Amino acid sequence: MNQQTLLAAVLWANTLFVIHLLTYTWSRRQAPAAKAVTFALLAFAIYSGGYAAQIMSVEPTVIRFWIKVQYVGIVALPPLWLLICMRYTNTSFYSKYRRLEAFLWSISAGFLFLVFTEHPLHYADFRLVRYGELTLPVTEPGIAYVLYSIYANLFLIIGGVVLSRGLKKAAQPARKPGWLMLIGAAALWLSYIANIIGLTPPGLDITPFFLSISAVIWTVAIFNQRLLDLKTMGLEMLFESIQLGVILLDKENRIIEHNPAAVLILPELNAGCKGEDLSVVIAHYPDLSSFITDKQADKLALSLSRADGNNHYRCTKYPLHRKGKQLGICLVLYDDTSEELLRQKMEMEASRDYLTGAYTRRFLSEKGASYLAAAKQNNEPFSLIMIDLDHYKAINDSQGHLTGDMILQHTVDLLQSHLPQDALLVRYGGDEFVVLLPKTDLTEACHIAEQLCSVVRRHALDVHFTSLNLTLSCGVAQLQSPNDTLATLLGQADQAVYLAKQEGGDCVRWVQ
């Protein structure tokens, strides 16, 4: 095989390979930049095929014809390359300014017109020389050729800058195939520079031959790195960018993959932990570690300490099956902090009296029962105080409801500030309150009640330039029998309050 046939065969092989590649890219034309990539490959096929036909030709008119065919592909490359870079990186400038696109294509069309009309602004001189078995054109560039070369290189560089800057900000799955496309384009550009500065034989264009190198790189980007696989790429980008922490484990609970959001939640995860048992990696989170190994549990609420406070998360476990066989599990971690704080706020509002801030009667029935049960289980004392404001109804009727509300708020503030730390103050009725006193016997509870009566007696309420002297009637009851219930103690305390009222109020009474 002679030199001429060998070079032409390489170029035709390149051309056919690129045509096969562009049929695939066209089938993925819904992916970002896919149409632009397809037309760029078509331009390369025209360029390479035209040059293969030129290599096989010897007649000047035939060579000129195939040069014109090549330029159909050549002039399309700068705008297509810029379009690929901007579409792939989702740069909005190109799509917003459609006039720019029209301007670029008009320059290419104008230059192509000069080529087809063989205008001297393109080639100032054109002659053929023999180089071994090859007949090669040696040309003297015209002013239009020089200007177009500057234009083409400028936009090739701009496209490369746009692509490289965009890839730095892009999601991880989009970066590697994008960089491969850039490397493939750089190989072609370097071959073009080699032609310009005279590193190749006069008249021999090595750029179409370098297309084979670029084509291999682009093939890796398109097939191996799934450049235009919209579904896979979209899923990978979603996996990388989603705010939910996702961890994939095999059936032995070894880490297969995790996304960046999971690392933010569990900093112990890193690239080096893949293949390790997750329950070991996060062993200092015992609740989460045991949740992973528990075959029955599928949901977990947990709290993790962070520099900015405690964050609340919900973890859900999803088995991964294929054809009825479990392959592993998927853990999804969701930051539930705002929802948890909202739930706590709502629970607090539901358990607190809106006027006084004391706990509600509903809270008393829930918490009081648990306090009583704990006292019985641990054989500890437990007492409660029922408090009734003396003469409240008369004051409320004569002074008005607003004054009545102020009395309640004033009284609760005094009581709260003088109760033991573990005591709970409950608004039981209109002007009735209950104080739960865990680990407190009857004697100590009566002492606390006497203190409360004293502090309210000593702190009158000033309303409308009038000083209102307030007093309390207190009834105390304590746990005496394992059969006692909260209702039993409340009934006994209520009887004691009745005794205190009969004696004129402002006193403490109890039921043995």
Predicted local confidence at residue 69, as pLDDT? 94
Interval 477-504 mean pLDDT: 94
CATH class held by domain 3-236: mainly alpha
Q: Does domain 352-510 have CATH number 3.30.70.270?
A: yes
Work out the mean pLDDT of the chain and round it to a whole number: 84
Predicted local confidence at residue 42, as pLDDT? 92
- pLDDT > 70: what percent of the chain? 88
For CATH 1.20.1070.10, the residue range(s) in the chain are 3-236
Round to the nearest angstrom and report the end-to-end CA distance of the chain: 120
Nearest to 21 by CA among 170, 186, 214, 271: 214
Lowest average pLDDT, out of 167-171, 222-226, 482-486, goes to 222-226
Predicted local confidence at residue 160, as pLDDT? 85
Residue 470, pLDDT above cutoff 60: yes
Confidence of residue 424 (pLDDT cuts 50, 70, 90): very high
Confidence of residue 432 (pLDDT cuts 50, 70, 90): very high
Predicted local confidence at residue 32, as pLDDT? 64
Regarding predicted confidence, which is higher, 426 or 153? 426
Regarding predicted confidence, which is higher, 500 or 258? 500
- Coil/strand/helix, residue 304: strand
Nearest to 178 by CA among 238, 117, 245, 91: 91
Predicted local confidence at residue 301, as pLDDT? 76
Confidence of residue 463 (pLDDT cuts 50, 70, 90): confident
Residue 222, pLDDT above cutoff 70: no
Interval 68-86 mean pLDDT: 88
pTM of the model: 0.50
Beta strands per DSSP E along 88-195? 123-131, 134-141
CB 83 within 8 A of CB 36: yes
Q: What size, in residues, is the chain?
A: 512
Nearest to 58 by CA among 140, 138, 137, 141: 137
Question: What CATH number was assigned to the domain covering residues 242-340?
Answer: 3.30.450.20
Predicted local confidence at residue 193, as pLDDT? 83
For the beta sheet containing 325-335, the strands, ordered from the edge strand earlier in sequence to the opposite edge, are 255-258, 245-250, 325-335, 309-322, 299-306
**pLDDT tens digits, 370-379:** 999 999 999 9
Residue 305, pLDDT above cutoff 80: no
For CATH 3.30.70.270, the residue range(s) in the chain are 352-510
Regarding predicted confidence, which is higher, 41 or 222? 41
- Tokens at 328, concatenated: 């592993």
- d(CA 439, CA 437) in angstroms, rounded, equals 7
Nearest to 438 by CA among 386, 505, 388, 370: 370
Predicted local confidence at residue 306, as pLDDT? 57
- d(CA 81, CA 87) in angstroms, rounded, equals 10
- d(CA 170, CA 162) in angstroms, rounded, equals 12
Confidence of residue 38 (pLDDT cuts 50, 70, 90): confident
